[in-house]
């Protein structure tokens, strides 16, 4: 068994281990020198006094090193939407003709990725994949930092922050989702930014600047992934249901703030719309874009997810109005096919299960999800990263180690969310409205995959953190009532 293990150890690992051993040896040799000894002790005292900071710093460094390790061994091309966007951004020919004409909602992410490609001096596709993965790494890790910041402001227990950090890290930071630079993980970052800016606007005396940030974020979110504006819809509902009846709010409300909101909204929306409509990077035929009814119809068949026959039907209809009418007819037919409202309700329940049940967020499910470079290299395929997240050189669902861990964490997270049912604070209401709004969106439109949960995972993690604190309070209350110390 030992020879098999040693055969999988890379030369890089042996080199790093050798350097570490040499450094330890040098350290102890220097420690033996009396003049250096006192200096070392002073440094150790300082480190001990800042113990927690340095522990978290080391943990953060280890996480980033793990992520870079995944990027090194798993970077590749996705043969679905992320890969199409990435290849087009690098001016490479793709396997789907007219993709951005039928999916104009992905033009903004295309322009962003193309800008990154230009900034990094037009690298090869191989290097560009790794660059985008590092950008994705930044988005995911920044989301974790924002979540920690918000929980520190909202909650009193450090163990709650630790719980939420561990859950978020297990679910999205440590897995290989950073290898999929798409609107799911970037949407996660946008949702975190939205919640942060809404919170800042609520507590800050300088509301005008946060109004500007919120409106700009709203516009970017809409063009980036329309469902992301649900967080702001939730905030607006809270404002309508509680804010307008609040005496303090009426005193603080200024017409100038409403005017500022409208002006920034018009300017931001107009600028982004103008940029997308007048870009010269790719040719877009707006008459070929999929109508909303297409995604509604798609969400009503099989698991409620992607359905190729629907796409093929729309591709055969050149007239936009007739295409929309065909989808409306399809929606009516599928509603009729359910036979009764009860059957449709059963379908929605199954679809909701599909939307939320998988803690891996359907890693490796969609098509050729991710094909790492040198996918036929047996030595690379035997590395830990590829064994964990791929099979035979192609990303695939993991039925054992990875899935067991994240599924266990995911169940705990969902359970802790239930602890917030009776909590009526504004931030909990924002999170609950937002989560319910996203779930309703996925029930109405294309869903059927837990992958779509990633875009609002931050809302779920924040709510579960607040629920965990409530859970601890319940346990402490029971312990004090029974006399347990």
**7-16, 81-90, 108-117, 132-141, range with the lowest pLDDT:** 7-16
Sign of the CA dihedral with 87 first, then 91, 92, and 95 last: positive
Does the pLDDT value for residue 7 go beyond 50? no
**24-33, 71-80, 217-226, 361-370, range with the lowest pLDDT:** 24-33
Distance CA 412, CA 282 (A): 45
Confidence band for 40, pLDDT divided at 50, 70 and 90: low
Which residue(s) pair with 390 in the sheet? 395
Residues 6+ apart with CB under 8 A from 365: 397, 449, 451
Residue (of 304, 308, 361, 299) closest to 331 by Cα position? 299
End-to-end CA, the chain = 48
User: How do 76-77 and 371-372 pair as beta strands?
Assistant: antiparallel
Confidence band for 4, pLDDT divided at 50, 70 and 90: very low
pLDDT tens-digit profile of 21-35?
655 555 555 555 555
pLDDT the model gives residue 243 = 60
Residue 301 tokens read as 């068949």
Mean pLDDT of the chain: 86
Three-class secondary structure of residue 338 per DSSP: coil
Distance CA 227, CA 138 (A): 22
Residue 368 tokens read as 């050729």
pLDDT tens-digit profile of 439-449?
999 999 998 88
pLDDT tens-digit profile of 449-484?
899 999 999 999 999 999 999 998 888 877 666 654
pLDDT the model gives residue 247 = 46
Size of the chain, expressed as the number of residues it contains: 485
Measured in whole angstroms, how far is the alpha carbon of residue 10 from the centre of its chain?
A: 32
pTM assigned to the model? 0.86
Distance CA 357, CA 450 (A): 7
pLDDT tens-digit profile of 325-379?
999 999 999 999 998 889 999 999 999 999 998 999 989 887 789 999 988 888 9
Percent of the chain with pLDDT over 90: 62
pLDDT tens-digit profile of 388-403?
898 888 988 876 678 8
Does the pLDDT value for residue 198 go beyond 80? yes
Does the pLDDT value for residue 162 go beyond 60? yes
Confidence band for 10, pLDDT divided at 50, 70 and 90: very low
């Amino acid at each position: 068994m030992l020879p098999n293990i040693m055969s999988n150890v890379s030369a890089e690992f042996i080199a790093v281990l050798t350097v570490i051993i040499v450094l330890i040896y040098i350290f102890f040799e220097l420690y033996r020198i009396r003049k250096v000894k006192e200096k070392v002790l002073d440094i150790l005292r300082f480190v001990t006094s800042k113990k927690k900071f340095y522990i978290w710093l080391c943990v953060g460094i280890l996480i980033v090193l793990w992520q870079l390790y995944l990027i090194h061994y798993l970077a590749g091309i996705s043969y679905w939407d992320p890969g199409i966007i990435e290849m087009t951004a690098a001016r490479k020919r793709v396997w789907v003709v007219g993709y951005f004409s039928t999916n104009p909602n992905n033009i903004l992410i295309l322009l962003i990725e193309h800008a990154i490609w230009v900034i990094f001096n037009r690298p090869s596709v191989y290097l560009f994949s790794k660059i985008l993965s590092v950008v994705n790494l930044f988005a995911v890790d920044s989301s974790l930092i924002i979540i920690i910041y918000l929980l520190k402001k909202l909650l009193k227990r450090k163990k709650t922050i630790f719980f939420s950090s561990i859950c978020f890290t297990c679910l999205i930071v440590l897995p290989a989702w950073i290898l999929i630079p798409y609107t799911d993980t970037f949407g996660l970052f946008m949702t975190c930014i939205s919640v942060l800016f809404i919170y800042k606007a609520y507590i800050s005396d300088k509301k005008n600047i946060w109004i500007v940030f919120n409106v700009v974020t709203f516009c970017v979110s809409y063009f980036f992934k329309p469902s992301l504006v649900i967080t702001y819809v939730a905030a607006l509902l809270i404002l309508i249901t509680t804010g307008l009846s609040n005496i303090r709010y009426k005193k603080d409300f200024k017409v100038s703030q409403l005017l500022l909101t409208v002006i920034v909204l018009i300017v931001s929306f107009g600028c982004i719309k103008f940029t997308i409509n007048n870009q010269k990077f790719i040719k877009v035929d707006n008459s070929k874009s999929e109508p909303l009814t297409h995604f509604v119809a798609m969400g009503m068949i099989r698991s409620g997810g992607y359905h190729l026959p629907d796409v093929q039907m729309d591709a055969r209809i050149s007239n936009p109005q007739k295409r929309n009418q065909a989808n409306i007819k399809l929606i009516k037919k599928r509603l009729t096919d359910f036979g009764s409202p009860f059957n449709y309700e059963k379908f929605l329940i199954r679809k909701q299960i599909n939307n939320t049940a998988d803690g891996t967020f359907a890693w490796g499910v969609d098509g050729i999800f991710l094909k790492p470079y040198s996918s036929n290299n047996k030595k690379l395929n035997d590395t830990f990263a590829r064994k964990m997240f791929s099979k035979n050189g192609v990303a695939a669902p993991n039925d054992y180690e990875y899935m067991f861990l994240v599924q266990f964490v995911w169940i705990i997270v969902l359970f802790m969310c239930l602890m917030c049912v009776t909590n009526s604070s504004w931030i909990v209401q924002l999170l609950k409205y937002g989560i319910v709004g996203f779930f309703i969106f996925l029930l109405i439109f294309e869903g059927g995959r837990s992958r779509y949960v990633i875009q609002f995972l931050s809302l779920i993690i924040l709510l579960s953190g607040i629920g965990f604190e409530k859970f601890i309070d319940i346990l402490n209350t029971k312990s004090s009532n029974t006399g347990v110390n």
